[in-house]
Amino acid sequence: MTQKAITVADEVLDAALNPLPSIVIDGITVTFKTPKGVFTAIKDISLTVKKGEIVSFIGHSGCGKSTLMGTISGMVKATNGTVTANGKIVTRPGPDRGLVFQNYSLLPWLTVYQNIYTAVDSSVKNKSAKEKQEIVENNLHMVHLWAHKDKLPGQLSGGMKQRVAIARAFAINPGILLLDEPFGALDALTKSNMHVELLKLWNLDNREKTIVMVTHDIEEAIFLSDRVVVMSNGPAATIKEIVDVPLHRPRNKKEIVHDPDYIAIHDHLLNLLIQKFSIDDIEENEEDEN
Amino acid sequence: MKNIFSIRTLTSILYFLAGLALLGGIWELIAYITKYEIPTPLMTWNVFKEVVQNPMQNDPDTKGIGTKLLSSLGRVGTGFAFGSLIAIPLGLLMGSNKIVMKIINPMVQILRPVSPLAWFPLGLAIFQDSPKASVFMIFICSLWPTLINAAFGVASTPQDHKNVGKAFGFSRWKYITRIMLPYSLPHILTGLRLSIGVAWMVIVAGEMLSGGIGLGYFVWEEGFNGGSVAKILVAIIIIGIVGLLLDKFFMSLQKRFTYAI
């Protein structure tokens, strides 16, 4: 009896001290067949993401960030390697991973309410219609769009559409949230608001959701993330470097820019990603390599 | 706000009247040049008033213009309905399934350029009946625009919308009813609008071949049996107006079901 109790206690302790990672990317390679031959988008990428971590992928266009995200979400099939999410190998999209796309992807003929309800209805089993309606209502309130629930996407601004898309992803209560350049199409002021709103939503959920984000925006990456994964240039892109962002939370948009640690990280990322900092860096008669 | 609306409608009415005046002017000129073989607008108007007397008269020898119109519309309606019933599902299937598209598309491309009138003798051979052959002819020519546009609608469904279905685990049924069909609907309506346009044109020509009591036969009677040119012009005007109304109807449906992203 005592022996069994000790084993159970050991297991519980073990689980508490070493929680199962949320996402394990193991040797992922993705290639595509093109008329011109085989194109390798990303090669041999391995990464572990802990539960409740916020991780950003950043890199130049064409560096395979979205492809990598696709292997986690299940929208893209890996040629080699596996991705494990929430303990299960990823083969296709599922309700344990919520997706937010760059182009909102709200269905234009459904109202705000219907867009979220349809998603919840399809993803979430074992809940009654009434419970699903409650979920939709709660999430719409969370993004402050309940008053607009009967509007069509065409009647909303860009920021509002993206908030609906985020509410939709949150509504299916996934353990992992995957955001593919979610704020790329928004103006800078709206974007800044959305950063704070996203972190608020994440906080409301006790910081339990793992968030993986693809972005071009260095400031966005640092402000939101615990770690920033810098990708090398494609093709056959890999991880160039992983930069830790140990800045304390909750983060403040105004104060953070004066934090010396922030400045150091910002400079480091700039160095990793940008070659030309001023007109002095451009040679005369230089050929554009891109 | 109401003022602006009034001014805008006023100007469009003015433009419309200007267009009519121009048409009327050209008409008068032609009438004058042909030494009134082609009647003037005024003469035609008088004949028009005469023609629309007793529109729904349905005696064996004399039929009102309304009866003739309804007869033509009936045939168009039947052929168009059957054609759409086949073209819409087939088009949706072709758009969603590459294999079906590859098999059926060549047949469509070969049959589509054939003048609808050429199908009339075929219809006669099959049905041994003139009106039925007319309906058959309308049926065939109503197929192509609807089929092609429906297929296009499905095939051009944006990947973003499809991704929503994939990401949130839509069932096949949900995908079809919530993504594929709503997106394709404006395209299907465009196809229907084009089809009805062709069908309405074809029935007039077809009735010249088949006889009967429609508007097309009316034109044929007056034209080739020494009737009045004015009556032909009246028939043309009525045919044109009905065609316009049909087109506007489908256009308004199409607009209603087009959604901004």
Per domain, the residue ranges of chain A are 20-92+217-275
Nearest to B164 among A107, A109, A152 (CB): A107
pLDDT of residue A51: 92
pLDDT of residue A70: 92
Complete DSSP assignment for B159-178: HHHHHHHHHTT--HHHHIII
pLDDT of residue A287: 64
Which parts of chain B sit beneath pLDDT 50?
Answer: none
pLDDT of residue A286: 64
A 173-192 residues with CB < 8 A to B: none
pLDDT of residue B200: 94
> What is the rounded distance in angstroms from the CA atom of residue A58 to the CA atom of residue A67?
12
pLDDT of residue B30: 87
Nearest to A109 among B160, B170, B182 (CB): B182
Instruction: Quote ipTM for the complex.
Output: 0.81
Interface contact A105, partner B, CB < 8 A: yes
- Whole-prediction pTM: 0.83
From A95's Cα to the closest Cα of chain B, the distance in A is: 7
Which parts of chain A sit beneath pLDDT 50?
Answer: none
pLDDT of residue B108: 94
Residue of A nearest to B171 (CA): A122
pLDDT of residue B50: 82
- pLDDT of A125-149, one tens digit each? 888 999 999 999 999 998 999 999 9
Nearest to A95 among B169, B179, B182 (CB): B169
pLDDT of residue B181: 94
H-run or E-run covering B238? helix B229-256
The answer to whether B104 touches B87, Cβ cutoff 8 Å, is: no
SS3 state of residue B226 = coil
A 234-273 residues with CB < 8 A to B: none
- pLDDT of A152-183, one tens digit each? 999 999 889 999 999 999 999 999 999 999 99
> What is the rounded distance in angstroms from the CA atom of residue A243 to the CA atom of residue A267?
12
Fold type of domain A20-92+217-275: Rossmann fold (3.40.50)
**Nearest alpha-carbon partner for A246 in A230, A231, A232, A265:** A265
CB contact under 8 A, B167 and A75: yes
pLDDT of residue A280: 84
- pLDDT of B33-67, one tens digit each? 888 788 888 888 888 888 887 777 777 667 778 88
> What is the rounded distance in angstroms from the CA atom of residue A25 to the CA atom of residue A7?
30
pLDDT of residue A289: 56
pLDDT of residue B1: 54
- pLDDT of A98-130, one tens digit each? 999 888 789 999 999 999 999 999 988 888 999
